[in-house]
Every structure is written in C-alpha cells, then in structure tokens.
Amino acid sequence: MAWVASDLVRVPWNDLVADGLSLPFRRGSLDAIVALDFVHHLARPGRLFEEAARVLRAGGCVSMVEPWVTPFSYPVYRFLHEEGCRLSLDPWNPFPAARSADKEPFEGDGAVPFRLVRDTPASRWRRSASRRAGDAHERLRLPREPRLPSGSIGGRRLSTALRRLDAALAPLASVVGMRALLLWEREG
C-alpha cells in the first residue's frame, strides 16, 4: 500500500501537485481519498465526488474532516472566520458562476459540507455523484451520518484536566462541535 500526498501547490512534503477535480489516477486504482479542509473550498463540489467515484475501487472511501455547523460553530464561522458560513448557499454550486472564474483557491464557506450532507436529496446526490464515473456501479453511497468529535484535545503535553474537559464535552459535540468526520463509500 502506498500513500500519495497531494495539493494544488507544490510543497516539499507532498508527492504531487494535483487538482481534486481531475485526479491523475486510473479508474478504480485508489483504496481511499483522505482530505482535510478541502471540500468547502471547491466552487463545484460535485465534480470532486464524480472524480472520486471514478478513481476509487469498489468499497473504497472518501474520508474528510471539514467544518460543521452547530449552534456554537455557526456564529464563529459566520462572523469571526474569514471564510464565512452562508446557510442559504447551494452546496453543489456554492460560488455563483459570475464569481467562479476569479475565486481564490483557498476561499471557502464553512456551510458547504453541512449542506451537502444534511440538505441534499438522495436523488440529486446519486445523480451528481455518478455522472462522470460513467458506470452506475461507480458511484458513492450517500454520506454516513457525520461523526462530531468534541474539541479533539490530544498530545502528551496537555494536562489531565484538559483531557477530562474534552471527554466531558464529547456528549455535547452536536451543540458545540466545530468539525465533522465525513465518510462516503464507493458502490460496486
């Protein structure tokens, strides 16, 4: 098993520069796609899922950690974060066509993952996620219910008190969480 790290920009720790909307891999050649803070930056997120369905083997998965909307996170993302959080956006077209051409690669909207998972009808999800793959079996299953970690405090140097606080907040993750682990699996 090999790990290939990529991004839009060349950096020493990555193996290749690649666009997630046009992956340089053969059909059915990947076991997984793992991403951190990625989908909420895309002007057309559906293209990523079409491409993922094409390059993943049957049973492969897309796993992402993304911003998530909760009663606590919404005002933080909406009013204090530079990317914003517009709950009224179309998650499949979050940046209107007039803006897409000049959209900066790292411009994003924290509501995109939430709206993709929570508000997209199953029929549109299936149609959108299998269009480019070319085969009815090459599509992603609807996303699983997101896993909302609490503050995700870790590391050896943190005090026992902070770890206990994090564990105590875990049941409140759906109210105070800021991030979600999202998972899609390829059918076939």
> What DSSP string runs through 25-93?
S-TT-EEEEEEES-GGG-S-HHHHHHHHHHHEEEEEEEEEEEE---TTHHHIIIIISTT---TTS-TTS
Are 65 and 147 in contact by the 8 Å Cβ rule? The answer is no
Which range has the worst mean pLDDT, 17-21, 88-92, 118-122, 149-153? Answer: 149-153
Angle at 139 between CA 64 and CA 35, to 5 degrees: 15
In a domain, 2, yes or no: no
In a domain, 68, yes or no: yes
* CATH number, domain containing residue 156: 3.40.50
| First and final C-alpha spacing in the chain | 21
Q: Taking all residues of the chain, what is their mean pLDDT, rounded to a whole number? A: 84
In a domain, 77, yes or no: yes
In a domain, 7, yes or no: no
Residue closest to 187 by CA, chosen among 122, 125, 129, 141: 141
Max CA pair span of the chain: 52
| Whether residue 133 has pLDDT greater than 60 | no
| Residue pLDDT, tens place only, 150-170 | 544 445 556 777 777 777 888
Structure confidence at residue 26 (pLDDT)? 95
Structure confidence at residue 1 (pLDDT)? 64
Structure confidence at residue 119 (pLDDT)? 87
Q: Which domain holds residue 67?
A: 17-185
In which band, very low, low, confident or very high, does the pLDDT at 149 lie, cut at 50, 70 and 90?
A: low
Structure confidence at residue 153 (pLDDT)? 47
In a domain, 90, yes or no: yes
In a domain, 8, yes or no: no
Q: How many CB atoms lie within 10 A of CB 140?
A: 24
| Residue pLDDT, tens place only, 2-46 | 888 988 889 999 999 998 889 999 999 999 999 999 999 998 898
How many structural domains compose the chain? 1
